[in-house]
Amino acid sequence: MDHPTLTLEAKGGPATFVAAGHWTAAHSSSLEQLVGSLPSAGTQGQRVAIDVAGIERLDTLGAWLLERLLRHYQAQGQTPIFLGMPEHFRGLLGKLHDVNREPLSPHEGANTLIAALESVGRATVGLKGDLRCFLEMLGAIGASAAGVLFRPRSLRLTSAIHHLYRVGWQAVPIMLLITFLIGGIIAQQGIFHFRKFGADAYVVDMVGILVLREIGVLIVSIMVAGRSGSAYTAELGSMKMREEIDALRTMGLDPVQVLILPRVLALVCALPILTFLGSMAALYGGGLVAWLYGGMSPDIFIARLREAISVTHFQVGIIKAPFMALVIGIVACSEGLRVKGSAESLGLQTTTSVVKSIFLVIVLDGMFAIFFASIGM
Amino acid sequence: MLDPTQPSAISVRDLSVGFGDKTVLDRLSLEVRRGEILGLVGASGGGKSVLLRTIIGLIPRREGCIEIMGQPLDRSDPTAVHAIGRRWGILFQQGALFSSLTVRQNVQFPMRENLDISVTLLDELATAKLEMVGLSSDDGKKFPSELSGGMTKRVALARALALDPEIVFLDEPTSGLDPISAGDFDVLISTLQQTLGLTVFMVTHDLDSLHTICDRVAALADGRVVAVGPIEQLLVSEHPWVKSYFHGDRARVRASAHN
């Protein structure tokens, strides 16, 4: 007989409950029902006996439910006692007699509307902290870079080159592929729509100017934010979690100088190069589509491209690249340092880092557009 | 309570484990009896943790046979793996608490997965387990990153005990604790072992734990169990490694402090 039972035996005298069977976690749900559907046991002040002699096995769950039964009758003003308690259950029941004496705090079931408003409010106030964090990181990197200017030997050159290899050289194939495709798509769309009013020759102007001024740098920055910014955040975040950054600090080293400056520097060097390569790939893709799809021979494409674009367009694009890199680097590193102890927070900060840097890259691009328009570039 | 006809809690026979061309455990055999606390000692890097992780199935074995409660351990059968998972609890060296769950949720996790009980009872049981390992119900709201080393070990023990397992594996339970906390933890393990009737398999370097709570001690050297028995028996062992372990400088200092 394994199944737990709890039966009421009223033989004139005090009410007696007889518990028997396996009072273990294996029968958790039926046990809870047994104890949950408690019959009322007579009038006030009466003795209630719980006969536990028939229990074959008992674990913490079963013992707690017995204890709960006991407390239930105590709360009703009765005097419950255990009958026939086997010696080897005594320790466990004694242990559970002392627990759960303080009432549990109820689960916080907040109003969803208020919770939504609260999170909006917190996010708004949080913006100030974000801005401060960004400026602090900018300042720290600036100070560290100035320190390097005075003492060039303090620059972690090996580390910087290593990161340049990772975020620059290793990123080249994917950047070339993506920008090549984007250039091709822009050219195809241009030819398809411009053809309706016989202006398909102007597709070269569109591709040239769009790619060099905006698309090249923007696509590359977004890709770098997703590819390298996230890696920076995750690396610094797990170093923070494992107290590696604290270890560096206690050795008298500045984490900004050792970890962050080489990373940001690598990014600032890599992004203009990737932007240049990406722009060339996009123009190549555009030219290929113009040839294969629009029937414009490469000679004509190049000749028209020469007329359509000037060095200014190229400059506008490439000047933006290091600033984009700086923004991505600052956001990635500051989010990395904001990681707390849990795996969840590492994931959260990595997501935040990518979302925030892509957003800032686009905002910065808009501000550059206004700036260049007003100085006539 | 001990029934000689019942199979041993853990039975390891001719177990060999290695990585690449390095052999860590070489035809090792070990029996853990039901209801005892067995301490496992051995040199750092000597394969203690490898043995523990092989028994619980985290490291594949090259050859040999492992039986838990008389049942052969077979990783290829998922239902058997699930069933055995309910019968043991493991305290990892670093606690291995789920960092995105609160302490209470950590303790509730195995119960939530395996038992069909109400939220109220889950909360009560989790608090009961936490109080049994000497924490308060307020600690239940904390996250693992907010805990001290000793508290982490206690929470990990509460989680290991969540399903009332028959066997508990402890990987260096007192490492990183101050002597007072380590002593308290030993007492805690021993009390829980007696009340819950646990079998405890403990990897430890703590000579005090070996002396105070272990029923038997097994010494691991050169990939084998070179000596096993009550601590008094190991103290007089003639095996060179066991001799230097129990009669080295640190052991002598401890012994003189006790006398």
Q: Residues of A159-184 as b/e, b for ≥16 C-beta within 10 angstroms?
A: bbeebbebbbeebeeebbebbbebbb
Q: What is the CA radius of gyration of chain A?
A: 36
Q: In order of start, what are the domains of chain A with their CATH numbers?
A: 5-97 (3.30.750.24), 123-374 (no CATH)
- Count other C-beta atoms under 10 Å from residue B258's C-beta: 9
DSSP string computed for A10-67: --SSSEEEEEEEEESGGGHHHHHHHHHSPPP-SSTT-EEEEEEEEEEEE-HHHHHHHH
Report the side by side order of strands in the sheet with B71-72.
B22-32, B10-19, B63-68, B71-72
Question: What is the predicted pLDDT for the residue at B2?
Answer: 47
Asked whether residue B191 carries a pLDDT value surpassing 60, the answer given is: yes
Reported as a pLDDT band with limits 50, 70 and 90, residue B1 is very low
Interface size between A and B, measured as CB pairs under 8 A: 77
Contact A25 B131 (CB under 8 A): no
Q: Residue written as tokens 């976690």?
A: A25
Convert the pLDDT of each residue in A215-238 to its tens digit.
999 999 999 999 999 999 999 999
Q: Is A135's Cβ below 8 Å from some Cβ in B?
A: no
Short-list A257, A271, A275, CA closest to A159 = A257
Candidates B1, B99, B128; nearest CB to A96: B128
Do residues A168 and A269 make contact, with C-beta atoms less than 8 angstroms apart?
Answer: yes
Higher-pLDDT residue of B71, B30: B30
For residues B11 and B34, give the distance between their C-alpha atoms in angstroms, rounded to a whole number.
11
Do residues A130 and A327 make contact, with C-beta atoms less than 8 angstroms apart?
Answer: no
Report the relative pairing of strands A47-58 and A79-83 from DSSP bridges: parallel
Could you say which DSSP state residue A105 is in?
A: P
Convert the pLDDT of each residue in A123-182 to its tens digit.
999 899 999 999 999 999 999 999 999 988 888 899 999 999 999 999 999 999 999 999
Higher-pLDDT residue of B38, A341: B38
Reported as a pLDDT band with limits 50, 70 and 90, residue A360 is very high
Convert the pLDDT of each residue in A324-333 to its tens digit.
999 999 999 9
Is residue A300 within a helix (H) or strand (E), and if so which, with residue range? helix A298-308
As a whole number, mean pLDDT of residues B147-158 equals: 84
Do residues A208 and A313 make contact, with C-beta atoms less than 8 angstroms apart?
Answer: yes
Contact A61 B125 (CB under 8 A): yes
Chain A residues closer than 8 Å to B121 by CB: 32
Q: Average pLDDT of chain B?
A: 80
Candidates A60, A91, A343; nearest CB to B100: A343
DSSP string computed for B164-180: --SEEEEESTTTTS-HH
Question: What is the predicted pLDDT for the residue at A13?
Answer: 66
Q: How many residues does chain B have?
A: 259
Q: Is A348's Cβ below 8 Å from some Cβ in B?
A: no
Do residues A161 and A265 make contact, with C-beta atoms less than 8 angstroms apart?
Answer: no
Do residues A260 and A141 make contact, with C-beta atoms less than 8 angstroms apart?
Answer: yes
Helices (H), A151-202: 157-167, 172-194
Contact A25 B196 (CB under 8 A): no
For a pLDDT cut of 70, what percent of chain A falls above it? 94
Q: Is A343's Cβ below 8 Å from some Cβ in B?
A: yes
Chain A residues closer than 8 Å to B163 by CB: 25
Contacts of A270 (CB under 8 A, 6+ apart): A164, A167, A168, A171, A224, A325
Q: Please give the residue of chain A at the shortest CA–CA distance from B194.
A: A91
Q: Is A86's Cβ below 8 Å from some Cβ in B?
A: no
Short-list A205, A190, A181, CA closest to A313 = A205
Q: Is A60's Cβ below 8 Å from some Cβ in B?
A: yes
Chain B residues closer than 8 Å to A340 by CB: 145
Between the two ends of chain B, the Cα-to-Cα distance in Å is: 34
* Prediction ipTM score: 0.70
Q: Is A57's Cβ below 8 Å from some Cβ in B?
A: no
Candidates B1, B144, B164; nearest CB to A61: B164
